[in-house]
Each structure stands twice: as structure tokens, then as C-alpha cells.
């Protein structure tokens, strides 16, 4: 449709093409409108986070109220209250370390499922995926009891292990798909030269599958950063993560809308930034590597 | 398969010319080679089994005990009594229905909306990149933050944006008492679903858009030259091509929404008939401290999930074979 109108000379537009162009403009406008509808709640949250508490809680909404950083100041504990930095750093640590562990485990596994596949490798793939379908909540109690009896409760490394297991199946599926694209001859050539598996993985496979590994890391980081259920049950004061902090923050201090909005923005910022910066990687990752 | 170099990662390494031909290396039996092929897989497999499967075994054991953590001395073997009470538990049954309804509604609505958005975004227009960025913003909010945003900034009956806009429009048209619904308590299920649809539509859109952009354009041009209408092209060319992507989106969406905890936990606290399974089980063990019952419920959920997942996996596996046969 668009190619038709594009090739038509501007001066003598036939009526059919003019109609098509008007339709195209209308559909473009519709796309813009839906985009605005979808982003509106986020924009509203952003605006409210810069309002004073009094202006945030008005009806009808005060759009043109003066902007202030009070919500953010309050969130970062300028006037006392909980310090958000420990939870933010906990989240960062849990997400980074679990992503690292996932990569270390998933890369060789994906190698054994694509480049030099084990027998019945499809069955193994489905076993990995099936663990993703089991409701995590059913295994929560034993994990809780185990942690309680071994002193691992409220420990960030427990979350690192759980997040690693949570993201490993996704990562294996993604990496398997990316590694299947690598020509086996390249790897055989490296092995002819006497390279052992770790060298092959690090020096040959990883550089070629670099973009795929980046997509995998992005997805694992986002899912770990977002996780709430485990964090809520298994952490307390020391190892609390940002999402858990966000829920406790609301219940303990009552409702301060501007502050809640500021907190939500700050905690979502790493994911928003990473996701916007790597939109294509996001699609690759979310589709388990099926979309390249 | 023919190169056994990976077969023995520990050995000191014969000359590569020998290694290239497995027949000339009789010292390596077949079984050892098979194990060496498996070796890179083992750490991931063992780790995953230990962390995800062992807890389920423990759940199974706990489910056979009468165990309330507030009365630790009264813990005793109870046989299947937890199961009989779980099966006859009205709340658990309701939460199963809630889970199915919630998942089905959110997945279907966001797939349909996502498809419409993907079709819109597949055209060239000014500012397409910006609109795409705007559309995926909801998916990139931390789920708790998104749930808080809907609950407090949008749904709040006194100062939420929805009622704010209603009274603002009311003022504009001189309506004296504009409607000010209590969104969460009047329509709790809808409130949870709307926030989830808002978060998951961008996800579906991204996957379907990628599918649309992989369409063979020549075929569509040919169909158009043969006089096919837009609808015919959509129905007979685009939709069949998108089938894989629709199935993928549905499957992945279901996996995540069945397990949703954040939205229910934040928006309604499981009240007003919105408690889904993850929330109910969380409640039973976290607040009611009924370990045995929570575990029995967990086991039942796992069995149910396995039944449903078997069907779902059959779908993926057929896609998978299609893919493999094409490659």
C-alpha cells in the first residue's frame, strides 16, 4: 500500500492512490493515538512524581502544578525514613550475579544442545522449558524452611541461586537458538588446532554469539530485577530487594502518592533504560530466540 | 560427533590428526564419548534439578503431614487428609477458577490488541520509532511499580487519574455529579486484568511485529496484483504466517500470567474474589502458617499444571519440529 503511493508522482495523483494515502495518514494517526494511550499512565506517574503531595492528591488532577523534587528527596530519605540504597544495591547484586551464573551454566549447556548435541537433545530442551511451567509458589515453602534451618534466610545469595534457576531454562533456550546459527566447521577448525572446550566456548563461540548472549543477559537481568514473590518471602532487613522495598514502603508509610511515583520511577529506571536502549535484543530475548 | 576431542577434556591430548578420526582411537569407548558429549550439559542440568525439582519432592513429603508452624509440637503424619481438605476447600477451588479466568482473559485480550497494534506498527509513518518506544514502556516498568501505579495513581476513587478525568470532563460539560466509581472494589477482577493487559499487550505486539516483518513480501505483492483484497491477504497470507508467533506469544504469556503474583498481591491483596493460585498458596503458608495444607494445594497445582503443560509443550514441540525440518 505504501509502496504504491511512494512511487506515484506527486503532481498527478490518481484518486485511488490519494484515497490510499489518506487511509495511510489516518492509520498513522491511530498508531500515534494508541501509543499515547499506552504511555499515558507512565507519563502521569512521571509528572506526579515531580508534584508536591498536596498537588498530587487533587481531583480533578492539577496538571500545571509547580514541579518539585520533594518526592525524590523524600524517597532517598532526606527527612529520615528508610534508606533505599541498600535495597537498590541488593537488587543490583542479585541481578548481576544471577545473570553471570546463568551465562556460565547456559553457554556450555547450549553447546551440548546445538553444536555437538547429546542424544535426545530435544527432550532435554523440553525438560528445561517444563521447569518454567511448574508454579514456583509450590516449591516456595521447602525453600523457605531450608533457608530458615541453614541460616540462609535474608541472604542475598539465596536469591542469586533461585534467580539463576528461574532464568536458566529461558537462557538455555535462547542460547541454543543462537548457537545453532554458528557453522560447525568454525568450531571443528578450532578443535583441530587443539583448543579445548572452555577455550572453544570463550574464544570462538562467545564472540560469534555475542549479540545473542547480550540479549540473554538483558532478559535475565530484567526478570531478576523484577522478581517479587521470593524476595518478599525470603528476605527481611538485610537482603531486601528493591521491589520488596517498594511494597513495604507503601504499607509502612501510608500513602504518599508523589513519593510512591518517585520510588516506582527510580526502581524501574534500570529496566526502562536497558530496555529502551536494546529494543531489538528485547524482542529476541522475549521470544526465546525464535525471532532474530 | 566425529571429532572426539571434547570426549576427554582431562587427557593430555594425542595429535589432532588422530583425534579427527574416531575409528583410529580405539582407546575411547563409545560410552565415554557419549558422556563427554553430555559433560557440558551436566552442570546446568544438575543445578536445575537440585534447585527446582528437590523442593517439589519436599513439598510432596510435607503435604502428608499435619503441620502448622504455630503449633510445632503437634506435627504428625496425616496421610492424605490434607488432600481431602484441599479438594473440598472452597477457597482453593475458587482460586483455580480465578486463575484460569484471569490468565485466559489477559492472554486473549493482549494477543488481540497486540495483533492490532502490530498491524498498525507494520506500516511506515512519521515517528514510528518513537511510537514503538512509547508502546513498550508499560512492559518495562517493574511489575510491582506498575501495580502500584494502577492502584494508587489511576484507580484511587478520591484522587486517581480516572476519576479525576471523569470529574474534569463532568465540569467541562456542566454535569453536576459526574460518576466516581470505586474502581478496585466495584470491579476488582477487571481492575487486575486491565493493569495486566496494559503490561502484556506490548509484549505480544513486539513478538507479532517481528513475525509480520518476516513476511515474504513478494507473495503479498503477487496476491495484490491478482486482485486480492486487504482482508483476503490478511486472512489467507498474513494470519497463517503469524500462527507460530501467535502460539509463541500465547504460550509465553500463559506461563507468566498463570504465575502472576505482583498484581494480585498489590492491587487487591487477594480480596474480592481475585485470589489466584499463587496468592492463595502464599497466603496459606505465609499468613495462616498451615504448612501441610499449603503443600497439598501446591502438589495439586503442580499436577494440574503438568496436565496443561503437556498440551502446551506438544504445541511448542510441533513448532519446533517444523523449524527443524525447515533448517
Are B30 and B147 part of one and the same domain? no
Q: Is residue B232 part of a domain?
A: yes
Model pLDDT, residue B3: 39
Would you say the C-alpha torsion A180, A186, A191, A192 has a positive or negative sign? positive
Contact of A89 with chain B, judged by CB distance below 8 Å, is answered with no
CA dist A238 and B191 (Å) reads 34
Are B72 and B33 part of one and the same domain? no
Total domains, chain B: 2
Are B162 and B38 part of one and the same domain? no
Contact B275, B96 (CB under 8 A): no
Model pLDDT, residue A233: 83
Count of A–B CB contacts within 8 Å? 332
Q: Which three cell numbers stand for residue B302?
A: 503442580
- Coil vs helix vs strand at B271: coil
Are B77 and B29 part of one and the same domain? no
Are B15 and B119 part of one and the same domain? no
Are B207 and B298 part of one and the same domain? yes
| pLDDT greater at residue A286 or residue A292 | A286
CA dist B149 and B161 (Å) reads 10
Q: Which residues in chain A have Cβ-Cβ distances shorter than 8 Å to B200?
A: none
CA dist B325 and B327 (Å) reads 6
pLDDT higher than 90, residue B263: no
Instruction: State mean pLDDT over A254-260.
Output: 73
Are B160 and B261 part of one and the same domain? yes
* Residue corresponding to grid cell 502458617: B289
| B165–A60 CB contact, under 8 Å | yes
Are B18 and B153 part of one and the same domain? no
Q: Is residue B58 part of a domain?
A: no
pLDDT digits (tens, 9 = 90+) for B130-147: 888 888 888 888 888 888
pLDDT digits (tens, 9 = 90+) for A120-163: 887 788 888 878 777 777 778 888 888 888 888 888 888 898 89
Q: Which residue from B48, B128, B320 is facing A131, i.e. has the nearest CB?
A: B48
Contact B44, A109 (CB under 8 A): yes
pLDDT digits (tens, 9 = 90+) for A179-224: 888 888 888 888 787 777 888 888 888 888 888 888 888 888 888 9
Burial B45-55 (b: 16+ CB within 10 A, else e): bebbeebbeeb
Model confidence band, residue B281 (pLDDT cutoffs 50, 70, 90): confident
CA dist B258 and A139 (Å) reads 15
Query: What ipTM describes this predicted complex?
Result: 0.81
Contact B117, B205 (CB under 8 A): yes
| pLDDT greater at residue B176 or residue B53 | B53
- Coil vs helix vs strand at B68: strand
* Residue corresponding to grid cell 478525568: B165
pLDDT higher than 60, residue A11: no
Model confidence band, residue A253 (pLDDT cutoffs 50, 70, 90): low
| A38–B125 CB contact, under 8 Å | no
Q: Is residue B126 part of a domain?
A: yes
Contact of A10 with chain B, judged by CB distance below 8 Å, is answered with no
Burial class of residue B145 in the structure, from the number of CB atoms within 10 Å of its CB (0-12 exposed, 13-18 middle, 19+ buried): buried
Are B37 and B71 part of one and the same domain? no
Contact of A157 with chain B, judged by CB distance below 8 Å, is answered with no
Q: Which CATH class is domain A85-286?
A: mainly alpha
Q: Which residue from A30, A44, A164 is facing B153, i.e. has the nearest CB?
A: A44
Domain ranges of chain A: 2-73, 85-286
CA dist B175 and B167 (Å) reads 9
**CATH number for position B137:** 1.10.3720.10
Q: Which residues in chain B have Cβ-Cβ distances shorter than 8 Å to A36?
A: 134
Model confidence band, residue B201 (pLDDT cutoffs 50, 70, 90): very high
Q: Is residue B56 part of a domain?
A: no
Model confidence band, residue B325 (pLDDT cutoffs 50, 70, 90): low
Contact A246, A267 (CB under 8 A): yes
pLDDT digits (tens, 9 = 90+) for B78-114: 777 777 877 777 777 888 888 888 888 899 999 999 9
Contact of A34 with chain B, judged by CB distance below 8 Å, is answered with yes
For B195, the domain range is 65-326
Q: What is the DSSP string of A171-232?
A: HHHHHHHHHTTS-HHHHHHHHHTT--HHHIIIIIIHHHTHHHHHHHHHHHHHHHHH--HHHH
Q: Which three cell numbers stand for residue B140?
A: 518495562
* Residue corresponding to grid cell 511494597: A247
Q: Is residue B315 part of a domain?
A: yes
Amino acid at each position: 500500500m505504501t509502496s504504491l503511493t511512494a512511487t506515484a508522482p506527486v503532481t498527478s495523483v490518481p484518486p485511488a492512490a490519494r484515497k490510499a494515502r489518506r487511509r495511510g495518514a489516518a492509520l498513522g494517526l491511530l498508531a500515534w493515538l494508541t501509543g499515547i494511550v499506552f504511555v499515558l499512565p507512565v507519563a502521569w506517574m512521571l509528572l506526579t512524581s515531580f508534584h508536591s503531595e498536596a498537588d498530587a492528591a487533587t481531583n480533578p488532577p492539577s496538571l500545571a502544578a509547580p514541579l518539585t523534587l520533594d518526592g525524590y528527596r523524600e524517597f532517598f530519605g532526606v527527612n529520615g525514613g528508610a534508606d533505599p540504597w541498600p535495597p537498590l544495591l541488593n537488587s543490583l547484586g542479585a541481578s548481576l550475579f544471577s545473570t553471570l551464573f546463568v551465562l556460565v551454566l547456559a553457554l556450555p549447556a547450549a553447546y551440548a544442545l546445538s553444536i555437538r548435541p547429546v542424544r535426545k537433545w530435544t527432550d532435554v530442551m523440553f525438560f528445561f522449558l517444563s521447569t518454567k511451567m511448574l508454579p514456583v509458589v509450590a516449591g516456595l515453602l521447602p525453600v523457605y524452611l531450608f533457608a530458615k534451618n541453614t541460616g540462609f534466610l535474608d541472604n542475598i545469595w539465596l536469591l542469586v541461586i533461585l534467580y539463576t534457576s528461574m532464568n536458566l531454562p529461558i537462557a538455555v533456550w535462547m542460547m541454543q537458538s543462537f548457537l545453532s546459527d554458528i557453522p560447525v566447521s568454525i568450531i571443528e577448525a578450532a578443535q583441530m588446532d587443539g583448543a579445548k572446550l572452555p577455550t572453544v566456548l570463550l574464544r570462538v563461540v562467545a564472540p560469534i554469539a555475542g549479540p545473542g548472549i547480550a540479549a540473554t543477559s538483558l532478559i535475565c537481568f530484567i526478570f531478576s530485577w523484577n522478581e517479587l514473590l521470593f524476595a518478599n518471602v525470603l528476605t527481611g532487613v538485610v537482603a531486601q530487594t528493591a521491589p520488596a522495598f517498594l511494597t513495604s514502603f507503601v504499607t509502612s508509610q501510608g500513602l504518599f502518592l508523589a513519593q510512591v511515583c518517585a520510588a516506582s520511577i527510580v526502581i524501574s529506571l534500570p529496566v526502562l533504560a536497558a530496555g529502551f536502549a536494546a529494543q531489538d535484543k528485547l524482542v529476541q530475548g522475549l521470544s526465546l530466540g525464535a525471532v532474530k | 560427533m566425529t571429532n572426539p576431542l571434547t570426549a576427554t577434556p582431562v587427557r593430555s591430548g594425542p595429535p589432532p590428526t588422530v583425534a579427527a578420526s574416531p575409528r583410529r582411537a580405539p582407546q575411547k569407548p563409545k560410552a565415554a564419548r557419549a558422556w563427554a558429549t553430555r559433560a557440558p550439559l551436566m552442570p546446568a542440568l544438575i543445578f536445575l534439578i537440585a534447585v527446582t525439582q528437590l523442593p517439589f519432592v519436599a513439598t510432596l513429603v510435607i503435604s502428608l503431614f499435619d503441620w502448622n508452624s504455630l503449633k510445632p509440637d503437634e506435627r504428625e503424619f496425616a496421610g492424605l487428609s490434607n488432600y481431602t481438605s484441599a479438594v473440598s476447600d472452597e477457597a482453593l477451588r475458587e482460586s483455580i477458577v480465578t486463575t484460569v479466568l484471569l490468565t485466559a482473559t489477559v492472554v486473549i485480550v493482549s494477543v488481540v490488541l497486540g495483533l492490532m497494534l502490530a498491524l498498525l506498527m507494520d506500516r511506515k509513518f512519521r515517528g514510528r520509532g518513537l511510537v514503538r518506544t512509547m508502546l513498550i514502556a508499560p512492559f518495562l516498568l517493574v511489575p510491582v511499580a506498575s501495580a502500584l501505579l494502577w492502584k494508587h495513581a489511576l484507580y484511587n476513587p478520591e484522587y486517581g487519574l480516572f476519576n479525576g478525568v471523569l470529574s474534569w470532563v463532568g465540569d467541562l460539560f456542566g454535569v453536576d455529579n459526574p460518576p466516581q466509581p470505586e474502581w478496585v472494589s466495584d470491579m476488582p477482577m477487571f481492575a487486575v486484568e486491565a493493569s495486566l493487559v496494559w503490561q502484556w499487550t506490548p509484549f505480544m505486539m513486539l513478538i507479532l511485529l517481528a513475525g509480520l516483518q518476516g513476511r515474504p513480501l513478494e507473495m503479498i505483492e503477487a496476491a495484490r496484483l491478482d486482485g486480492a483484497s486487504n482482508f483476503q491477504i490478511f486472512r489467507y497470507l498474513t494470519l497463517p504466517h503469524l500462527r507460530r508467533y501467535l502460539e509463541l506469544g500465547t504460550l509465553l504469556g500463559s506461563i507468566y500470567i498463570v504465575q502472576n503474583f505482583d498484581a494480585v498481591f498489590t492491587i487487591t491483596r487477594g480480596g474480592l474474589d481475585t485470589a489466584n493460585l499463587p496468592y492463595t498458596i502464599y497466603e496459606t503458608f505465609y499468613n495462616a502458617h498451615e504448612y501441610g495444607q499449603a503443600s497439598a494445594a501446591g502438589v495439586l497445582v503442580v499436577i494440574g499444571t503438568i496436565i496443561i503443560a503437556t498440551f502446551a509443550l506438544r504445541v511448542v514441540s510441533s513448532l519446533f519440529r517444523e523449524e527443524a525440518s525447515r533448517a
